[in-house]
Structure 1
Amino acid sequence: MKITVIGGGPGGYVAAIRAAMLGADVTLVNKSKVGGTCLNLGCIPTKALLATTEKLQTIKDARDFGIKVNGEIEIDFMAMMNRKNKIIGQLVSGIEFLLDKRKVRLLNGTGRVIEKNKVQVKYEDATTEIIDADKIIIATGSVPIVPPLFPYDRINVFTSDEALFLEEVPESIIIVGGGVIGCEFGQFFTKIGAKVTIIEMSDQLLPFEDPDVSKQLLRAFKKDKIKVMTGEKIVKCEVKDNRVIVHLENGKIVEAEKMLVSVGRRPYLENLGIDDVGVKLDKGKVEVDENLQTSVEGIYAIGDVVNSPFLAHVASKEGMVAAENAMGGNKTVDYRAVPRCVYTDPEVAAVGITEKEAKAKGIEYHTGQFDFRALGKAQAIGSYQGFIKIIVDKEDKIIGASIVGPHATDLLTELTLAVHLGITATQLGDVIHPHPTLSEGIMEAIHAVHNSCVHAL
């Protein structure tokens, strides 16, 4: 079985390796470095930079732990960027090593579907090659959305792609969009010395999460002196004398040295050729069935090009499923328990439905909540802002959860498993959790569902 995968991001390279493990002769066509946006321009580099600011904050807080730090704390911006680049390079090399060991043929070029079973690869020197394939998997990912309103010059006005290659700390920056990317970059820039203003059209940060989650993050941002403007619409944007000037609908004007536009992403399907071979699209996304097969038999699509959450871990799961189905399987993806993570301080993590979604859908539910402040471990490590909230349905099944606080993204796995398996609050509440740990908060929140939490009133 010959399988060609177009796109080497977290969906594509996983699909390629899995198909090879199942015995396929696999060709992976990728126009840049393997790992895609997540590894090269998203998840990993931003977390590397945020890790630096976390260390910085630890040093600043050292006195609270009985440690005297004498002397000025200085940020070496380029050293920070070089560390980020080194991490990316190591991980890219690791993926290339795995592809080689699995005998996946990696072609550095641009792929285009020219027939149901043929992919044309165009290399940088303009030469081309035709690859025969029994099955094709489309995994070309997404790119940032930049509305025409913004004078996108990649210097004064840029996206998260360009933000990762700045050579100096901006004096001030306007961030358009208070979603995951905007919040993470907003806190990063403010901690390295920039004056940050976040402008969000919705009435809260992280518009798709519950308001109480957003309020906790807003509280932290105010402490960090980040100016947050929610419910605001930008009507005009211009660059004058290397300054970005923003005009809001209410007449207010905001000015800064730089602007980061982070209002979302769109599927990258340019020059892919899939429409010419009959692959159907729905509102700019590739239409697939439950097996991730497109309207053309033998052509599959995964990741940001299909109508599923734009998350690396979702793309990887879909890559596994598409590869197995291309090899004769009949797998599907269960999207009920997709974890959502925001690596701010405090971290935000959620899974399943939110409380506001439950209300909108008319679902009968109950909640249990526990504050980190009441946990001995949280007090011991000096990080106790936030809470854990559990949502259960009328049958006591855990259908959603939100965590705001220390190590929230790591703690979420237990609750993701609970939602995925349909575990009840009673079942999870019976599990003995270790003491003293942050995970005790999950147990306490579960007990709060049934009003049996002994460490809260």
Structure 2
Amino acid sequence: MVKDLIVIGGGPGGYAAALRAAGLGAKVTLVEREQLGGTCLNRGCIPTKALYKNAQVMRTIREASNFGISLSGYELDFSAVQARKQKIVQQLRSGMEQLVNHAGIQVVNGSGRLIDRHTVAVTAADGSVEKIKGSRILLAAGSEDAGLTVPGADLPGVLTTKDILEIKQIPSQLVIIGAGAAGIELAGIFEAFGSRVTVLEALPCILHFMDKDISKRLAVLLKQKGIRIKTGVQIQRIRRDENGLSVLTAGKQGEEEFSAEVVLTAAGRKVNIESLNLAEAGVACEHNRIPVDDGYATSVPGVYAVGDVIGGKMLAHKALAEGKVAVKNMFGLAAAVRNRAIPSCVFALQEAAAVGLTEQEARDRGIPLLVGSSPFTNNGKALIMGENDGFLKVMADAENKKILGVHILGPQATELIQVGTMAVELGLSAEDIERVMQAHPTLGESFLEAVLRLELKSV
């Protein structure tokens, strides 16, 4: 039977597309070599945030005396922590499998590759190959840890972000290579669990993709909690001796060596396109990504691509939105994803979130800016919660006062960013925000306060 759509990849972009197409009445086959949900559900977003919640609870217990509560005799049962994490992952995966099954989507386990614009070959774990025919094909193969190429990167105890989520014991000393979202999140998690954490970053700052006000302030907060951060250093090698692992770096201060029980490599990701057989199938590939048009069509008619494989921000919610829009376009329902309002969230020791332009991006574009910032030290709810570090920063175009960017460091920043995302996506102005009444006392009041403080900032 010829399918209406074959999807390669069962992550957010792939399963969202498959479900949307099935909802439109299409006959769909979904090819996945591991488990439905992709990296996000099984090896990334969900398990990491499950551990993050445990870390939050640990910090709450440590700081209980601030609320007049005296505690003693507690300890962390890491096996129970891991079991809870796995239960959450399994529950979500089971729910997804039920949705896919109920929608009548055929799931084929194996690694898919293109033969031509209408044919996908699927290699199963036992080496057998099945060819599937379809009128349309969607590539949503995702990405994986880029790893390191330095000497010693393959030593026992050098782990990827996937590996560290499955460890059985908390390392006494953890060196993390990479200060992006994954590295910073895991630094905060394992610090709360009792590890002595060092973060090494080649770039001049942590979270380089975020507004500099956030990266600078968060670095200070992390250091105050005992996390050592070294930026502007290049990894030379990793070696093992009688005391464990050590990481040699080179930077402005010369060569330095950092001891560890475990080394985590979190220095980026690479897209999964090598096994897709793109060249032989005639699908163009540029700069290690698949170029697509506004409807997510590739250079080959009938073949589409979404998510990490097309480049840009590697975020689950971006892939999910693209998968839905790609299906609408391939079945004649015109739609588009506007990339100006893609929120980024970091579940760090203090949450960080952002949407729209950073101040540096606005400066580079020569946009005259209005900038307003409201510190959480002035927010009643934050003070009540005992989490008043950070700020909420809003940027608007000085000419029309439209909101261009929202940047948050502070309690529940990853929830607060939803309002900022709507403001940027819908092109709301400062006046629009000022007309909306904010409930009191809430963290959301800081958004209005930041808007009310908008002042011209020369760029």
Q: Same fold (TM over 0.5)?
A: yes
- Residue 189 of structure 2 aligns with which residue? 188
Out of 5, 27, 30, the position equivalent to 1:28 is 30
CA distance in 2 between counterparts of 1:163 and 1:242 reads 20
The residue correspondences of 1:180-329 to structure 2 (distance < 5 A) are 180-241=181-242, 243-249=244-250, 250-329=254-333
Deviations 1:15-69 (A, max 9, x none): 0000000111000000111000000000000000010010111112222112222
The answer to whether the aligner puts 1:174 opposite 2:175 as a matched pair is yes
TM-score by length of 2: 0.96
Residue matched to 2:401: 396
Does the 8 A contact of 1:429 with 1:443 survive in 2? yes
- Number of residue pairs matched by the alignment: 450
8 A contact 1:156–1:239 mirrored in 2: no
In structure 1, what is the equivalent of residue 157 of structure 2?
156
Question: 2: CA distance between counterparts of 1:87 and 1:152?
Answer: 31
Partner deviation per Cα, 1:87-127 (whole Å, 9 max, x = no partner) = 11111101000001111111111111112101111222222
**Contact 1:156/1:242 (<8 A) preserved:** no
8 Å CA contact 1:150, 1:157 repeated in 2: no
Q: After superposition, give the CA deviation of every residue in 1:364-395 in whole Å (9 maximum; x if it has no partner).
A: 11100000110111111111100000000121
Listed as ranges, the matches of 1:104-115 within 5 Å are 104-115=105-116
Q: Which residue of 2 aligns with 1:41?
A: 43
TM-score in terms of structure 1 length: 0.96
SS in 2 for 1:335: coil
- After alignment, is 147-156 or 262-271 more displaced? 147-156
Aligned Cα RMSD in Å?
1.3
Query: Which residue identity lines up with residue 66 of structure 1 in the other structure?
Result: G
Deviation at 1:426, TM superposition (A): 1.2
Percentage of pairs with the same residue: 40
CA contact (8 A) 1:345 1:405 kept: no
Structure 2: tracts of 5 or more residues without a match = none
SS at structure 2 position matched to 1:254: strand
Matched, 1:444 2:449: yes
Contact 1:389 1:401 in 2 (8 A): yes
Q: CA deviation at 1:450?
A: 5.4
Cα distance in 2 for partners of 1:44, 1:117 equals 34
Greater CA drift, 356-365 or 80-89: 356-365
- Contact persistence 2:5–2:138 (CA under 8 A): yes
Deviations 1:170-191 (A, max 9, x none): 1101111111111001111111
1:17 counterpart = 2:19: yes
- Residue in structure 1 matched with residue 102 of structure 2 by the alignment: 101
Structure 1 unmatched runs, 5+: 452-457
Q: Is 1:408 the counterpart of 2:402 in the alignment?
A: no
AA in 2 matched with 1:36 = G
1:354 has 2:358 as partner:
yes
Give the direction of change, closer, same or farther, for the CA distance of 1:154–1:417 in structure 2 (3 Å limit): farther
In the TM superposition, structure 1's runs of 4+ consecutive aligned residues that sit over 6 Å from their partners are none
For residues 384-440 of structure 1, the C-alpha deviation after alignment (integer angstroms, 9 at most, x for no partner) is 100000000121000001000000000001110000010001111121000000000
Q: Deviation at 1:242?
A: 6.9
User: Counterparts of 1:95 and 1:199 in 2: how far apart (Å)?
Assistant: 37
Q: Provide the rounded CA distance (Å) in 1 between the counterparts of 2:270 and 2:384.
A: 43
| Cα shift readout 1:220-267 (whole Å, capped 9, x = no counterpart) | 212210001112222232233472222222122212111111111111
Moved more, 152-161 or 369-378: 152-161
Q: Partners of 1:251 and 1:351 in 2: how far apart?
A: 37
- For residue 179 of structure 2, give the secondary structure of its aligned residue in structure 1: coil
Give the aligned residue type for 2:277.
G
Q: 1:155 and 1:75 mapped to 2: Cα distance?
A: 25
Matched, 1:375 2:375: no
Structure 2 CA distance for aligned equivalents of residues 251 and 152 of structure 1: 18
CA separation in 2, counterparts of 1:57 and 1:328? 51
Instruction: Work out the CA distance in 2 between the residues paired with 1:271 and 1:143.
Output: 13
Please state how far the C-alpha of 1:162 moved relative to its aligned partner.
Answer: 0.5
d(CA) in 2 for partners of 1:210, 1:252: 29
**Counterpart in the other structure of 2:70:** 68
Per-residue deviation at 1:209?
1.6
Local SS of the residue matching 1:317: helix
Distance change >3 Å, CA 294–CA 154, structure 1 → 2: farther
**Distance in 2 of aligned mates of 1:157 and 1:215:** 28
